[in-house]
Amino acid sequence: DAGITQSPRHKVTETGTPVTLRCHQTENHRYMYWYRQDPGHGLRLIHYSYGVKDTDKGEVSDGYSVSRSKTEDFLLTLESATSSQTSVYFCAIRPGQGRETQYFGPGTRLLVL
Amino acid sequence: QQQVKQSPQSLIVQKGGISIINCAYENTAFDYFPWYQQFPGKGPALLIAIRPDVSEKKEGRFTISFNKSAKQFSLHIMDSQPGDSATYFCAASIMGNTPLVFGKGTRLSVIA
């Protein structure tokens, strides 16, 4: 998994509660990404980061926020979880500097009741 | 707006046969086209990638064919094996600049 861990791996929560997912890398890569994967939709980009404190929105950013205060950690927060945010969330990293390959973490399965 | 369209959604192939998955893109600025393979319960992993200066790239049983004028690229899996059964995603990006945009995926089943 290219030195990427995601926590928690599974979570069940209730509608309206805040949820934070963590992505941790040991590779010191510059770029980090959060995707969600849903049947029929493939992988959709939520937010991404191109450095500490540098983040940008992806295709499906509404209802999500991110923070990156250290190179190794990229946090995804659902401010007030909704059932439509039930999904599998993947973090990915990319070295940059001409190296394009994205490496994905093992995923977090989130169920919002 | 779906920038990368992938087909078919699912595919069943006999063991030893050829699996073909197709993708079409809209943005002519895209210059990096990878394919990812995902097994159940795992994250996607890079399988093979191509840049538009070549029309074909082969790695073992996996080949990408690229048609710049048609804005299409495809993955061919020769001598398909049951172990190839997985979901395959095509993607595209502008190198060094934009995040990958993924197709919706193809679920491949290789049956004996």
CA distance B93 to B33: 7
Domains of chain B and CATH, by start: 4-111 (2.60.40.10)
Asked if the Cβ–Cβ distance from A41 to B45 is below 8 Å, we say no
Which pLDDT score, from 0 to 100, does residue A97 have? 76
DSSP E strand boundaries for chain B: 4-7, 10-14, 19-25, 33-38, 45-50, 56-59, 62-67, 72-77, 86-92, 101-102, 106-111
Lookup: tokens for B110:
């290789």
List the end-to-end C-alpha distance of chain A, in Å, as a whole number: 30
Interface membership of B5 toward A (CB under 8 Å): no
Instruction: Pick B102's closest partner by Cβ from A42, A48, A100.
Output: A42
Question: Which residue ranges form the domains of chain A, and what is each CATH number?
Answer: 4-112 (2.60.40.10)
Q: State whether residue B103 sits within 8 Å of chain A by CB.
A: yes
Partners of B105 on chain A (C-beta within 8 Å) are 42-43
Residue B1: the pLDDT is 55
Per-residue pLDDT of chain B (112 residues; tens, 9 = 90+): 568 999 999 999 999 999 999 999 999 999 999 999 999 999 999 999 999 999 999 999 999 999 999 999 999 999 999 999 999 999 999 887 689 999 999 999 999 9
Q: Is the pLDDT assigned to residue A1 strictly greater than 80?
A: no
Q: Give the position of tokens 């538009």.
A: B52
